[in-house]
Amino acid sequence: MIVISCFNFLFFRNTRLRIRPSHTPQDRRYQRYLRNLCVPFLFECAWRSVFPSLYNERQVLFDTPLNSILLDRSLAALGELCWVLQICLILEQLATDLRQHWLKGCCGKCFVELCSMIMAVLAFVGECFSFVGTFTTNAYFEVLEAMCWCSLFALASLASLTLLVRTHMAGACGVAAKRFLVVLTLQGFLYCPYMVKFNIPMYWRIFRHDEEQGKTYMSILEGIVDSARTRVKCQEWSCWKDDWFWMSFYFSFAVWSSICMMYAPRLRFARLTSQAVAP
Q: What is the pLDDT of residues 160-205, one digit of tens each?
A: 999 999 888 877 788 899 999 999 999 999 999 999 999 999 999 9
Cα 179 from Cα 263, distance rounded (Å): 11
What is the pLDDT, as a whole number, of residue 270?
66
104 pLDDT tier (thresholds 50, 70, 90): low
Q: What is the tens place of the pLDDT at every residue in 109-121?
A: 789 999 999 999 9
Q: What is the largest CA-CA distance in the chain?
A: 76
Give the closest residue to 230 by CA, choosing from 65, 75, 73. 65
Cα 139 from Cα 142, distance rounded (Å): 5
Cβ atoms 83, 36 nearer than 8 A: no
Cα 127 from Cα 121, distance rounded (Å): 10
Residue 183 carries which side chain, given as an amino acid letter?
Answer: V
Mean pLDDT of 237-241: 89
What is the pLDDT, as a whole number, of residue 85?
98
> For all residues of the chain together, what is the average pLDDT?
91
- Above 80 in pLDDT, residue 273? no
Give the closest residue to 261 by CA, choosing from 196, 197, 176. 176
Cα 98 from Cα 170, distance rounded (Å): 8
What is the pLDDT, as a whole number, of residue 64?
95
What is the pLDDT, as a whole number, of residue 44?
96
Cα 70 from Cα 17, distance rounded (Å): 35
- Above 90 in pLDDT, residue 271? no
What is the pLDDT, as a whole number, of residue 277?
35
Mean pLDDT of 234-244: 89
Cα 173 from Cα 175, distance rounded (Å): 7
**Domains of the chain: which residue ranges?**
2-18+25-262
107 pLDDT tier (thresholds 50, 70, 90): low
What is the pLDDT, as a whole number, of residue 276?
39
Cα 127 from Cα 117, distance rounded (Å): 16
- Write the DSSP assignment of 34-83 as a string of letters: HHHHHHHHHHHHHHHHHS-EETTTTEESS-SGGG-HHHHHHHHHHHHHHH
**3-state class of 268 per DSSP?**
strand
What is the pLDDT, as a whole number, of residue 106?
60
Cα 177 from Cα 87, distance rounded (Å): 12
What is the pLDDT, as a whole number, of residue 125?
98
pTM of the model: 0.91
Strand order in the sheet with 59-60: 53-54, 59-60, 232-233
Mean pLDDT of 242-256: 90
Q: What is the tens place of the pLDDT at every residue in 132-163?
A: 999 999 999 999 999 999 999 999 999 999 99
Q: What is the tens place of the pLDDT at every residue in 14-52?
A: 999 998 887 788 889 999 999 999 999 999 999 999 999
- Above 70 in pLDDT, residue 239? yes
**3-state class of 233 per DSSP?**
strand
Task: Describe the crossing of helices 69-101 and 140-170 by its angle, rounded to 10 degrees.
Answer: 20
- Above 50 in pLDDT, residue 279? no
What is the pLDDT, as a whole number, of residue 275?
43
